[in-house]
Structure 1
Amino acid sequence: MFITSKPLNGMKFIAGLFLVFICMSESCDRVVERTDFLTEKTTSCCFVECQPNFYVRRCEVNNTADRCEPCPPGSLLLDPTNSYFPFPCRRYDCPPETRRVNSLSKTGCRIPCECDESRGYSGADPCLCRRRVLNRKKEGMV
């Protein structure tokens, strides 16, 4: 600590205690150590587990925690991930006969698309959409 001849302002004292509390409260149950092979710098981070559609943002300062951040718009992460296996979010392109939706298909390939019925495609699997065939009977023809 610093030795000063002036008494501390009350707000500065409270702010200092708050910072000490934050630093002391960052205790980790599990620690992940990562080494940057270019700089040979090792960073120790607190382990986190992230739910689907969140990725692990690695800590940059020793003894701080990795963070779970939402995937950027237009990308997904279908499975949970964690500091030991930090999977990236992925962009999924929909096949041309489908349209993008905000949920994963329940059957077939698991992508955020569904068959575009407004353009005549149908099916439960967005990777196997079929063109609907319309049966039209022409009047007057037998």
Structure 2
Amino acid sequence: MKKQILLMVCATALLSSCRIYSSYDRPDVTTSGLYRDTASVNDTLAVTDTTNMGNLPWTEVFTDPKLQALIQKGLENNTDLLSASLKVKQAEAMLTSARLSFLPSFALTPQGTVSSFNHAKATQTYQLPVSAS
């Protein structure tokens, strides 16, 4: 009896909790000029110059030949970058394997035995099961 009452209370609470809140209505807010918009007369936070160091290649930023050679050597021998590259290749192989699992598969498992008891004539048995799925 207590179990049924508890079950009814839980079911009522769960069903009534679905309609607690009303639907959300998005308020109309003007966001122009709040953060890094294109330059205009009224905007005080607008960005007028978008060129920065992040858009330049590192060879143009660091012009010293010795420093460029060291950076290039570091990039070539970067074990983190190499391991990340290998992980990407591994993920691609796993994706290929997962996609190939949807293709049909065929199996051919031939078996053969030769048996003889007390120097009698040998008996040869062959099996050639084929399965497809």
Q: TM-score range by the shorter chain?
A: under 0.3
TM-score by length of 2: 0.24
Determine which structure has the larger strand proportion and give its number: 1
Which structure features the higher share of helix residues? 2
Normalised to the residue count of structure 1, the TM-score between the two structures is 0.23
